[in-house]
Amino acid sequence: MLKDNHKKYEQLRKEYSFFVYEDFSIDDQDEKLSVTYRFNLADKVFFYPTLEFIKGRLFEKPIAENVIRNFVFHIGLVELISYWKAACPPKIIIKPYKLDDDQINWWKTLWFNGLGEFFYLNKIQTNGGIFVDLVCQSDIYLAPENLVLDNNRVLVPVGGGKDSAVTLELLKSHFNCVPFIVNPRQASLETIRSAGFAEDQYLEVRRSIHPELLRLNGLGFLNGHTPFSALLAFISVFAASMAGIRSIALSNESSANEPTDDESGVNHQYSKSFEFEKDFRDYLERYITPDVNYFSFLRPLNEYVIAGLFAGFPSYFSVFKSCNVGSKTDIWCGNCPKCLFTFIILSPYISKKKLVEIFGKDLLDDKKLLGSLKKLTGISKIKPFECVGTIDEVNYALGRAVEKRGENLPELLKFYISTPFYYRYKDFKKEDITRIEKKEHFLEDRFMSVLKKAMHG
């Protein structure tokens, strides 16, 4: 729902004219490495968010203090945007270290694109050139460092959804995989258990949001989506480096590249896109370390293909969750676009009976989800602001679901076959949906061979 908050945006920028990244502190203990950031909103509000890297037995490779500070400093540059957006001050002051002009442009690009949904839904009228000015008050640059890392170990971030389950399942028999979780919840923990990993075989990071931000949200300050996957990128690279792991295998797919709104170009999944992945790899090599291999293992595939692979791993059916509405209680809410999308994309592969067991009802028979169906298929102009597949994939999956259900169609499929979209996609070629993307990915040959074997084996 769009709220016209542009006037509020302008008023808040006048009242809170600057935001300061003051500093950070690091407390390196035997059991964990704790980080506390200090952010300052116009000398009126102060934020102290924290991160805790739980060491366990996996953080066994010490790295130099200057390398740790470089990682921690950069994580703060992503973290601060969650606090800056409360009032959107026109100036951000960076005190700990200096950034060169290319870095400043890189960060402004990430912040602006990563906040695209936030600006869009709040109807804020701005652009990448004027939304913020970045000023550094230090003369100290941080230099990139070479690291000695294990090429046969792979860090696999696990969120609890179907995609990371597929990545973990496909890679675990070929590499020494280490699952990685930020703020563990039941779905993510059950996923790694289903993959055969014990509690001492995964890396954990605990991130806390400072209560002052929640207080401002309650008072009606600006709020909205931030690029969490960009934060995950920096955190995962730091965790991998501390554990001596070279490769980080994400589970972002080609579908993430499609804009949520074609006209504006806004993409809910910007920090999961190939564009961000490429930019991040370049930045990592140039300013932090050239020795970490950050890539998305599923990038050559789309959501439709991944759903087919996931259907071959029934041990995850009862544990996976990717509903944002139900994330706190670890359920499928059954009423949101993400639930409907997941139901649709799995429908060609998994029986109606099993899907009803997973989701609690037949989502394709719920008339209240008609609006979500229209957004997912392109009947409505704008896709849901969720991590969902492309319009082509959704329509193709619905066509296969119609074939599978036969004559006794549920309500949403009855509606769907009455639209031009059904006939437009009815004879869509399967190979146009299931092809492997050959160019826009960063898989080394050893990872690509695993993926191709899974596709054709």
237: which residues sit within 8 A by CB, 6+ positions away? 71, 248, 284, 288, 289, 292, 294
Q: Name the one residue in this structure whose structure tokens are 């913020």.
A: 132
C-alpha 372/C-alpha 360 separation (Å) is: 18
3-class secondary structure, 310: helix
C-alpha 185/C-alpha 322 separation (Å) is: 11
pLDDT of residue 8: 97
pLDDT of residue 431: 83
Burial 81-103 (b: 16+ CB within 10 A, else e): bbbbbbbbbeebbbebbebeeeb
User: By the 8 A CB rule, do 46 and 38 touch?
Assistant: yes
Render pLDDT for 15-31 as a digit per residue (tens, 0 to 9).
Answer: 999 999 999 999 998 89
pLDDT of residue 426: 86
Element (H, E) at 20: strand 18-28
C-alpha 14/C-alpha 199 separation (Å) is: 49
Residue count (the chain)? 457
Q: Domain ranges for the chain, please list them.
A: 6-296, 303-434
C-alpha 336/C-alpha 318 separation (Å) is: 19
For residue 264, the 8-state DSSP code is T
pLDDT of residue 2: 65
pLDDT of residue 61: 67
Phi, psi of 238, deg, nearest 5: -65, -45
Question: Among 1-5, 201-205, 282-286, where is mean pLDDT lowest?
Answer: 1-5
For residue 133, the 8-state DSSP code is E
Count of CA atoms in the C-beta half-sphere (13 A) of 329 = 5
Is the pLDDT confidence value at 384 over 60? yes
Residue 227 tokens read as 């690029």
* pLDDT above 90 coverage of the chain, percent: 90
3-class secondary structure, 52: strand
3-class secondary structure, 206: strand
Render pLDDT for 220-269 as a digit per residue (tens, 0 to 9).
Answer: 999 999 999 999 999 999 999 999 999 999 999 999 999 999 999 999 99
pLDDT of residue 328: 85
212: which residues sit within 8 A by CB, 6+ positions away? 45, 46, 47
Residue 314: pLDDT band with limits 50, 70, 90:
very high
**What average pLDDT does range 118-134 have in this prediction?**
95
For residue 405, the 8-state DSSP code is H
Total-model pTM: 0.95
Q: Distance of CA 211 to CAs 88, 249, 454, Å?
A: 18, 32, 45
Is the pLDDT confidence value at 127 over 80? yes
Residue 38 tokens read as 């200090």
**What average pLDDT does range 309-327 have in this prediction?**
95
